[in-house]
A and B are shown apart, each in its own frame.
Chain A
C-alpha cells in the first residue's frame, strides 16, 4: 500500500478459525490481503490492514467472520453526529455523496 497504513489495534474484525472450511472466499474478497491460506485454512495474517469493509464476513458461508462494517469517513460520522443518526454520507439528499 505504498507505505500507507492506518491506525493499529483498532479494528473490530473477529475470526473463529475452527469454523473455517477452507473455501478461500475471504482471501479473494479482501482488498487489503488481511487473510492468508495456511494448511487449507484461512488465517488472519495482517489484521491492522483491515478497513472494516465487511466483504469477508458477508461472503463467509460458515459465519466464521464478523466485523462491524462501516465506511471510514469522518464526514459521514460528523453528519451522523449532527443529525443524531448512524454515520451517514448524506446520500439521501442526492446532492453530494461518496
Chain B
C-alpha cells in the first residue's frame, strides 16, 4: 500500500469498529470478525469514514479461500456491501465494483496494489461476479441503488465506474448511465490484468476479454464439486453395503461384513474418479458433449482396473459383477461429467439441454443394467 496521509486517516489498530448498518459498510459479516483487520485504517470523506483495506492477503485470507474451495462456509464467505478505499484515494481516483463474495473481493484488492482507488462492493448475496450476473443480483438495479446508498457521487468528482467484464450478463451499461449518471467501463475478466488495463488508459486487450478454461481453472473447482454432491455416492455406498449381504439363505451378516466394504468402496472410488479424470482430461477426451467425454473417461478408468483385475484374478468375484462395475463406472462418470457443465466456462443452456435429452436416458439405462448385473453377481 502507498503512503497514507496521517491527517486524513486514523489508525485502526485497536480493531474496534463503528456500529453496523452504516451505509458505507464498515463491518464484515459472516465468519469474518471485524478484528480480522482486513481494515487497516479509515479515510475521512464527505460521506463519513471509509475503511481502507490491505492489498496483501494474509494467512487467514488464504485459509478462507481454501475453505471456500472445499465448500466450507462458502455461502457465509462475505464482505459487507459498501465503499472501501485502497491506498490513499482522492475524488479523482477510479472506482472498482465488486461482488460481496469475499474471494471476488480478495482477488480484486490484491490486484490493486499501488493503485489508489475506491472499491464499491455491491450485494450479490455472497455469490461471485459471474454467477451473480447470471442471476441478475450483480445487476443494473443493485448498482444504481448502491451508488445512491453509498453516496458515491459525493466521494468522487468524476462519473465513471469500472466493472469486471463478467458482470455484463447482469448489467445494462446504458441503463446505469441513464439512471445514475455513472458511465460503466468494463474492465478485464481477470483481476490480475487490472494494472495493465490501467496503464493502457482503461483499455483491455482482446486477450484480457476472453475467458479460458485452463487445467488450473478446472482443478480448483474439483474439491467443491466433490464435496457438494458427496451425499449421493454415500447413500449408494450404504445401499450396496447392505445389498452385499443378500444371497443364498436370504441375508447373512457375515457375508455383508465380508463383501460390503468392497461394494461400498467401489462406488466411492468411481465417484471420486468421475470428479477428477474427466476434469483433467477434458480437452483430450473425444466428443464435444460433457456426457460423452465423461463416458470416455469412465471407459479409460474401467480399462485400467480391468488390466489390474487381469493380474489379480478373482478380485471382482464373477463376470456379472465385473460387467456391472464396468457399466456403473461408465454411467457415473458420464453423469458427473455432464454436471461439470455448470462449472465450465463455455457451455450454453441450449447445448446442455440438447446433450441431456440424449444422455440422461442412456445413463439411466446403463446404470439400471449395471445394477441388475450387480444383484445377479451377488445372488450367484
Contacts and interface: CB of A to CB of B under 8 A. Distances in A.
B349 A68 contact: yes
B347 A6 contact: yes
Given A2-B283, A10-B354, A69-B169, A74 B210 contact: no
Contact of A98 (B214, B343, B346): B343
Interface string A48-91: 01111111001101000000111111111110000000010101
Interface in B22-77: 71, 74-75
B189 interface: yes
A7 B214 contact: no
B305 interface: no
B233 to A, nearest CB: 15
B173 interface: yes
A91 B344 CA distance: 18
B341 A72 contact: yes
A58 B168 contact: yes
A58 B350 contact: no
Interface on chain A toward B: helix, strand, loop, or mixed SS?
loop
Interface in B349-372: 349-356
A73 B343 CA distance: 7
Contacts of B134: 53-54, 69-71
A3 B165 CA distance: 23
Given A10-B354, A11-B348, A61 B174 contact: yes
B339 A68 contact: no
Nearest to A72: B347
B209 interface: yes
Contacts of B209: 28, 30-31, 33
B275 interface: no
A10 to B, nearest CB: 4
B210 A59 contact: no
A97 interface: yes
Contacts of B166: 31
Nearest to A53: B169
A38 interface: no
B157 interface: no
A45 interface: no
B168 A71 contact: no
A33 B169 CA distance: 15
Interface string A1-35: 11111111011100000000000010011111100
Interface in B2-24: none
A54 B169 contact: yes
Contact-residue size bin, chain A (C-beta under 8 Å from the other chain):
35 or more
Interface in B138-193: 165-166, 168-174, 186, 189
Contacts of A98: 127, 131, 342-343
A57 B291 CA distance: 29
Contact of A29 (B71, B168, B349, B354): B168
Contacts of B173: 25, 59
B175 to A, nearest CB: 9
Given A6-B348, A94-B75, A89 B282 contact: no
Most chain A CB within 10 A, of B189, B214, B352, B354, is at: B352
A71 B213 contact: no
Given A3-B283, A29-B168, A51-B347, A74 B75 contact: no
Contacts of B283: 2-4
A74 B349 CA distance: 8
A57 B289 CA distance: 26
A11 B171 contact: no
A52 B127 contact: no
Contacts of B133: 53, 55
B169 A7 contact: no
A10 B209 CA distance: 23
Contact of B213 (A4, A74, A76): A4
B289 A29 contact: no
20 contacts: A3-B283, A4-B346, A10-B348, A29-B186, A31-B210, A32-B346, A49-B346, A53-B133, A58-B168, A58-B169, A59-B173, A69-B349, A70-B349, A72-B341, A72-B348, A73-B349, A77-B353, A94-B75, A95-B75, A96-B74
Given A7-B288, A59-B168, 12 more contacts: A2-B212, A2-B213, A4-B282, A6-B347, A28-B209, A51-B345, A70-B134, A71-B349, A72-B341, A76-B342, A77-B353, A96-B74
Return the 5 tightest CB-CB contacts between A and B, nearest first: A73-B342, A70-B349, A72-B347, A55-B168, A29-B168
